[in-house]
Structure 1
Amino acid sequence: MNTEKYLVKEKKKLNLYEVPTSYHGKLEKKEVKEVLIPENIKKIREYQERLYAENKQALLIVLQAMDAAGKDSLIKNIMTGVNPQGTKVVSFKKPSENELDHDYLWRVAKNLPPRGEIGIFNRSHYEDVLVSRVHKLVLDQPFPKNLVTKDIWENRFEEINNFEEYLSNNGIKIVKFFLHVSKDEQKERLMERIDRPEKNWKFASSDITEREYFDDYMLAYADMLINTSTKRAPWYIVPADRKWFSRYLVSEVIVEKLKEMDPQFPELSKEELDSLDKWKKILEEN
């Protein structure tokens, strides 16, 4: 699969209404769900085992999307079978008072995956250039008003790029996904949350009120994507109207990134190798 076509080119003009939200290629749903995704899950599990044993690198997966785009189910689906001991999922919600008393990257930095692990951010530091921008939240936060200038978002893009470059320089590989769902498909999924009792718990009235800002979000996302997609921390726009395809594409990219990292099982020293026969003999005698 050519994942390059979904990669966001840095600083290239972007209109998200011109980017497909659904897949119309030759892949068949049945093959993807029953063969291709399971194959990738197996590969991810094998790479994670090596990553955990090596304990030198980490992988950070960032997921951003509008409501009902399928972030939660995607995580559940493609991380099935992966050792939870080497995986950390963090869902970032509305900042607490304590979090607002710190810089906007503080809560993200303290939740980064340690070496040997895969970290998944369900929403992330990018909320502070999306929700904060669309709703002008920074004006109501404990933040110096003289710093709220017309350049604040460009400044934050630069800060985020520098932060992610720092992480890359310290062995954390970053890959970011924007699950691109259409407004019509989002409506269907939200209706399902209302109509199906077993999904009522997923529904929040804010999901409806946020739809009023859909166009504003598309502009904010486009600006964010082109300004923070870098070689070291790329963004991929994932058509998300069909969950089977979005899950497959994300799993493909994750496998590619783990392959690039190429984690290896630690090798025993000559002394350790030479002592194995001795320890084996002791076990056999006891």
Structure 2
Amino acid sequence: MNLAKYKVTSQIKLSDFFTKEVEDDAKKALKKIRKKISDLQNAMYAEGKYGMLICLQGMDTSGKDSLIREVFKDVNASGVEVHSFKVPTALELKHDFMWRHYIALPPKGKMGIFNRTHYENVLVTRVHPNYIYAENIPEVNSLDDLDDAFYHDRMKRINDFENHLAKNGTIILKFYLNLSKDEQKNRLLRRLNLPEKNWKFSDGDLKERKLWDKYMFCYEEVLNKTSKENAPWFVIPADDKPTARLIFAKILLEELEKYNFVAPTLAPKLLAQIDDFKAQLHKE
């Protein structure tokens, strides 16, 4: 599997990316990779030099929740923090648009997963510019103020934010789950047809689906303007969930392996006393 083809390294068009790839025995292959990811997270925790921020974006039903569940099930629960960002609260709206994301960042040694991310501030708000009014920004007095320049400036500030994080030891990986409109239709119908899945359905899903083309334009701009070497985007074909999870896991593993995490050793004084410590314990 050529993982480089999923990484956004130049100007792209989303229409050039496949939404479906099928890998034989994807579930079996994922099990092997999960263990390796777990071992590397343990080493990252022991070393305590890096943290990792994993950003997941995608249209409704693209499989973000199940990907998190299946890929990270072997990782020590204390080593992973998952945050799902919904509509901003009254408190969050009293701060700048990045505040609630900043305070949710993972500490060194841990993986932080943002299920929907700070990019909602240049995606959903761009499709629904009236949402910006709730932020009560001084220079925004009408919808006319929310032009392309406004959102491009926000993307630049997000780039600056991520660059700051990277320079301070946060490994940043961003994934767009590239779902086709036809497959989304199938998944929404499944939620309606299966009583045990009904709770997942919202009529808002259908309203957002009508804005598909606007979302694709916004996602394409985000990918082109915010994929940087220290915070790259990867476009993952999401129509086949097992394969999407496997591709994601392989990229994650490949990126983790670049860091050669090394657990610290005991101080020389303690190291010289190891035999004495063992003897004390055996005498109990």
Partner-residue secondary structure (3-state), 2:245: helix
1:75 counterpart = 2:68: yes
Tell me the CA shift for residue 139 of structure 1.
3.5
Number of aligned positions between the proteins: 279
Tell me the CA shift for residue 140 of structure 1.
4.5
Question: Mapping of 1:127-166 within 5 angstroms?
Answer: 127-136=120-129, 137-146=131-140, 148-150=145-147, 151-166=149-164
Tell me the CA shift for residue 129 of structure 1.
0.3
Report the residue type matching 1:206 in the other structure: G
Question: Mapping of 1:125-274 within 5 angstroms?
Answer: 125-136=118-129, 137-146=131-140, 148-150=145-147, 151-274=149-272
Q: Which residue of 1 aligns with 2:2?
A: 2
Tell me the distance in 1 between the aligned counterparts of 2:223 and 2:20: 19
Partner-residue secondary structure (3-state), 2:258: helix
Report the residue type matching 2:8 in the other structure: V
Tell me the distance in 2 between the aligned counterparts of 1:98 and 1:80: 33
Tell me the distance in 2 between the aligned counterparts of 1:134 and 1:146: 16
Gaps of 5+ in 2: none
Tell me the CA shift for residue 242 of structure 1.
0.3
Q: Of 33, 37, 40, which residue of structure 2 is paired with 1:44?
A: 37
Report the residue type matching 2:35 in the other structure: K
Between the aligned residues of both structures, percent identity stands at: 41
Tell me the distance in 2 between the aligned counterparts of 1:18 and 1:256: 24
When the two chains are superposed, the root-mean-square deviation of aligned CA atoms in Å is 1.3
TM-score between the two structures when normalised by the length of structure 2: 0.95
Report the residue type matching 2:51 in the other structure: A
Partner-residue secondary structure (3-state), 2:114: strand
Query: Residues 139 and 145 of structure 1 are in contact (CA less than 8 Å); yes or no, is this contact kept in structure 2?
Result: no
TM-score between the two structures when normalised by the length of structure 1: 0.94
Q: Which residue of 2 aligns with 1:93?
A: 86
Question: Mapping of 1:95-134 within 5 angstroms?
Answer: 95-134=88-127
Query: Residues 180 and 238 of structure 1 are in contact (CA less than 8 Å); yes or no, is this contact kept in structure 2?
Result: yes
Partner-residue secondary structure (3-state), 1:226: helix
1:63 counterpart = 2:61: no
